[in-house]
Amino acid sequence: MSFFQRLKAGLAKTQHRLVHEIRRIVTRSPRLTGATLEELEAALLGADLGLPMTRRIVDAVKTAYETRGRDGPDVFAIARAQIEQALTPAETPLGRASAGLTVVSVVGVNGTGKTTTCAKLAHYVQGRGAAAMLAACDTFRAAAIEQLQLWGRRLGVPVIAAAYQADPAAVAHDAIAAAQARGADYLFVDTAGRLHTKSNLMKELQKIHRVMDKKLPGAPHEVFLVLDATTGMNALAQAREFHRAVPLTGLVVTKLDGTSKGGMVVAIQQELGLPVRFIGVGEQAEDLQPFDPRQFAEALFGTPEPAVA
């Protein structure tokens, strides 16, 4: 069997769902040997949980088995508990300024779904009786402004925009002025996608935030980093760099309607203490849900039931 054939055969297996994988590992082998632990490790890595978190769960499983024997603990329960413990929930999905306008800046690398998330957030606060506005600060990508304006029309939300190549900080400034004048409750600022490694673009982002703070002290009140659930370990680098440039207040994980598990948010919260605020689960305006750590853990490891034989 050639190297490639072996790879292909091996990879077919990985399509099993994580739960099946772990269940198989546990039921097949009553005692956790080095080999089973490695399989458990592989399954956890497959969910993009990253090495440190994976090690933590594997260690927890190991310890539990060593101290209580095989009849005691349930591997799922241990893993779930570990994840839940790592993900402290945010006090509120979306904060509110003590008075007047609340400005929410939405940042992230290219193609994670910032524009769609802005629209969904506007829809979310609308549903709670608040007046929302959108600021089209992506003046770089072709048709980014049109995309936000189309959303604005669909949702009946005013969109503040300028021409392409305009200074995004100026757009943000004007948008805050407009939102204040119209008495809006929330302003969602859609920034251009930028790779976290481009220092000039990160400086541009800092400038946008500086200008907003000057126009309305305290703004932006929330800074959300939008992460694509399919992203792997690079998500941590993204979060780290964005957090260093403009202190973030939370994460939004998008595209969780696929088979991606978005496991890297666990590592991010571990290192940076940034809670996940919302998850995006579809292309429609209502496909945005406040994040629930318990649900997330259950989605990864199945609902709690005495399933392990």
**Interface residue list for another protein (CB under 8 A):** 3-4, 6-8, 10-11, 13-15, 42, 45-48, 50-52, 109-113, 140-144, 146-147, 149-151, 154, 195-200, 203, 228-238, 255, 257-260, 264, 271, 283
Q: For residue 112, what is the DSSP state?
A: S
CB of 69 to another protein, least distance (A): 29
Which lies closer to another protein via its Cβ, residue 163 or residue 181? Answer: 163
- Which one, 103 or 256, has the nearer CB to another protein? 256
Rounded CA-CA distance 251/105 in Å is 11
Q: Which is nearer to another protein, 67 or 200 (CB)?
A: 200
| Minimum CB distance to another protein, residue 212 (Å) | 22
| Contact call for residues 171 and 161 (beta carbons, < 8 A) | yes
**Which strand (E) or helix (H) includes residue 267?**
helix 264-272
Nearest-approach distance from CB 4 to another protein, in angstroms: 6
Give the residue from 84, 72, 20 showing the smallest Cα distance to 46. 20
* Residue placing its CB nearer to another protein in the complex, 61 or 227: 227
- Order of strands, edge to edge, in the sheet holding 159-160? 159-160, 132-137, 186-191, 102-107, 222-228, 250-254, 276-280, 288-290
CB of 63 to another protein, least distance (A): 22
Complex with another protein: residue 73 or 262, whichever CB lies closer: 262
DSSP string, 50-65: -HHHHHHHHHHHHHHH
Least distance (Å) from another protein to the CB of residue 88? 20
Q: How long a stretch of residues is the chain?
A: 309
